[in-house]
Structure 1
Amino acid sequence: MQAYTSDHFVLPLPEGHRFPMAKYRLLREAVEAGLPGVVLAPAPAASDGELALAHEPAYVSAVAEGWLSDAQQREIGFPWSVAMAERSRRSVGATIAAARSALSDGVAANLAGGTHHAYAHKGSGFCVFNDVAVAARLMQAEWHRSHRRLLRVLVIDLDVHQGNGTASIFADDPSVFTFSMHGARNFPFRKEASDLDVELPDGCTDAPYLEALDQALDRIWQIHAADPPGLAFYLAGADPHEGDRLGRLKITAQGLAERDRRVFSALRERGIPVAVSMAGGYGNDINATVAVQANTLALAAQSAAQWPDLRVSSRARA
């Protein structure tokens, strides 16, 4: 399985900043040490034109050239720097590359990404650009150019925080179905309307969490029975974990592994390629967050290994 990394681009954050920048390096090192089936490659940088597929050009320029106001920087949660702008481009570029790889191989991943709080006109909540929104729009354009038909996209957002930016960007776009399952009382406190939102109470444990996921996925497959999506983006947040300092849920590592198995299995059975992003993870113990995300990548690689037979059977059916 192909995966893309941008952890060499590190934000110069002030001492005591709560964003766990080190987790991206630690995750890459865990993949290098324990997942030989995952092939790592450096993330390319998204261009201004690619970013403008989902973002207002004035906002793209403000990030690129350092025009963000103090208020805009506070809402994002990062001070502007050249490194901040470059890392944000690379995070989007990694999801673009993962989406292209997924369309050819079945499954691919970005070891960062999942920046779902970024709107078309602004960033928010540690999210500068919305990597999934940009990649979805670009894959649709490339697919139409090469296949002369529409690529329908499904976003499965299982970060503990609602994907408000993604929901806003695709609010009037029936070609992209947005699904978010998240903490009802968690950030963002003013939520946007996804195509399907599932809100969970504080302290939610494994059994009701997985039951809610199963019900949501069943509904999605019913909605798309006649016209299934051709590409999925899966935001596999580690922040529903019981040890997460921002999550407020009580999902075990085993519960999150089962979540991932069910998502990958459902997509694989339907022949829907998936680009995986790591999204959030703010563990009291950063190593616990890394372990959850490394296991997500291990399960993604296992699913990817089963795709060749599916592609053969799909061609036979066609």
Structure 2
Amino acid sequence: MLAFHSDAVSLILPPGHRFPQSKYRLLREYFEARPGLLRMAPAEPASEAELALVHTPGYVEAVMLGRLSAAQQREIGFPWSPQMAERSRLSVGASIAAARAALLGGEGVAANMAGGTHHAYADKGSGYCVFNDVAVAARLMQAEWQRRQGPVPGLRVLVIDLDVHQGNGTAAIFRGDESVFTFSMHGAKNFPFCKEASDLDVDLADGCADAEYLAALDAALLQIEQRFALRPPGLAFYLAGADPHEGDRLGRLKLSRAGLLARDERVLSWLGQRRIPVALSMAGGYGHDLADTLACQVNTLQAAAKAQQAWQERAMQE
């Protein structure tokens, strides 16, 4: 499976900052030490024109030129630096590359080894999210699909957001847009405390564990199936956050590592059975022990690699 990484540029953070940026390097190094599991490649940065498919020109310019106000930087959670701007472009570029590989490159399944920056709005960042990688990649894939296919019904996109925090920025960006269906399953009492309306939201109580979580996911996928009965989506984005894990500092849920893997396998199987290409992103993960987060995300990528192999085997039979 193709997986794109973007950890070559590091954020400049003050001592004690709780954003665990080292997990991206550790994830890449884990798979580098086990060649053959993934086909990894460095991401190219998204261009300003690509970012402008979703974000307002003024906001893009403020990020690129270091014109974010102190309040804007506090809301994002990162101090501005040239590295912050470049890293944000690389993360978006990784989701673009994964989506392009899955949809247009015949891979069926591909991954961004970071990404999932779903709190970013069109005109601002928030919650460790500068640009919304999934939203930009979705818009670009719709444009590229239209250029290839001509005057036919456009590409419908499904966003499956299973980070423990609601995908408020993504929901706001695509509000009222019937070409993109947003589904978010998240902690009811967790950040963001003022939530946006996705096309489908599933709120979970604090302490939600494996059985309840997986039952809620099954019910949500059934609802999505019914809503797409007449015209299935042509592309999915899956935000596979590790932060519902019981050991997460910010999650407030109680999923085991096995429960998270079952979640990933359910989503990937559901998409594969319907032949919906998918681009994954790792989204959140803030374990008390970073090794727990890393193990959850390793499991996600291994499950995705198996799904990609199954996709290719079925393609050869068709």
State if a TM-score over 0.5 links the two structures: yes
- Corresponding residue for residue 24 of structure 1: 24
- Corresponding residue for residue 267 of structure 1: 271
Displacement of 1:35 in angstroms is 5.8
Kept in 1: contact 2:248–2:287 (CA 8 A)? yes
* Equivalent runs, 1:211-226 vs 2, <5 Å: 211-226=215-230
* Equivalent runs, 1:43-54 vs 2, <5 Å: 43-54=43-54
CA distance in 1, matches of 2:8, 2:98: 18
Q: Which amino acid aligns with 1:57?
A: P
SS of residue paired to 1:306: helix
- Provide TM-score, normalisation by structure 2: 0.98
Extract unaligned runs of 5+ from structure 2. none
CA distance in 2, matches of 1:216, 1:108: 23
Q: Which amino acid aligns with 2:73?
A: Q
CA distance in 2, matches of 1:113, 1:53: 17
Q: Confirm or deny that 1:132 pairs with 2:157.
A: no
SS of residue paired to 2:225: helix
- Corresponding residue for residue 85 of structure 1: 85
- Corresponding residue for residue 120 of structure 1: 122
Map Cα deviations across residues 151-201 of structure 1 (whole Å, 9 max, x no partner): 100000000000000000000210000000000000000000000000000
SS of residue paired to 1:251: coil
SS of residue paired to 1:215: helix
- Corresponding residue for residue 282 of structure 1: 286
1:310 paired residue among 290, 308, 314: 314
- Corresponding residue for residue 241 of structure 1: 245
Displacement of 1:33 in angstroms is 2.1
2:301 paired residue among 272, 278, 297: 297
- Corresponding residue for residue 110 of structure 1: 112
Displacement of 1:71 in angstroms is 0.2
Displacement of 1:311 in angstroms is 2.5
SS of residue paired to 2:117: coil
Kept in 2: contact 1:238–1:289 (CA 8 A)? yes
Kept in 1: contact 2:5–2:41 (CA 8 A)? yes
Q: Which amino acid aligns with 1:119?
A: Y
- Provide TM-score, normalisation by structure 1: 0.98
Kept in 2: contact 1:206–1:252 (CA 8 A)? yes
Kept in 2: contact 1:35–1:298 (CA 8 A)? no
Displacement of 1:310 in angstroms is 2.7
Over aligned residue pairs, what C-alpha RMSD do you find?
A: 0.8
- Corresponding residue for residue 176 of structure 2: 172
Displacement of 1:32 in angstroms is 1.5
Kept in 2: contact 1:239–1:282 (CA 8 A)? yes
- Corresponding residue for residue 6 of structure 1: 6
Displacement of 1:27 in angstroms is 0.6
CA distance in 1, matches of 2:160, 2:34: 27
Kept in 1: contact 2:31–2:37 (CA 8 A)? no
1:143 paired residue among 133, 141, 145: 145
The alignment of Structure 1 onto Structure 2 pairs a total of residues equal to 314
Displacement of 1:312 in angstroms is 4.2
Displacement of 1:34 in angstroms is 3.3
Displacement of 1:31 in angstroms is 1.6
Percent of aligned positions that are identical: 68
Kept in 2: contact 1:92–1:113 (CA 8 A)? yes
Extract unaligned runs of 5+ from structure 1. none
Map Cα deviations across residues 291-316 of structure 1 (whole Å, 9 max, x no partner): 10011000000000011233345xx5
Larger CA deviation: 302-311 vs 276-285 = 302-311
CA distance in 1, matches of 2:22, 2:182: 30
- Corresponding residue for residue 97 of structure 2: 97
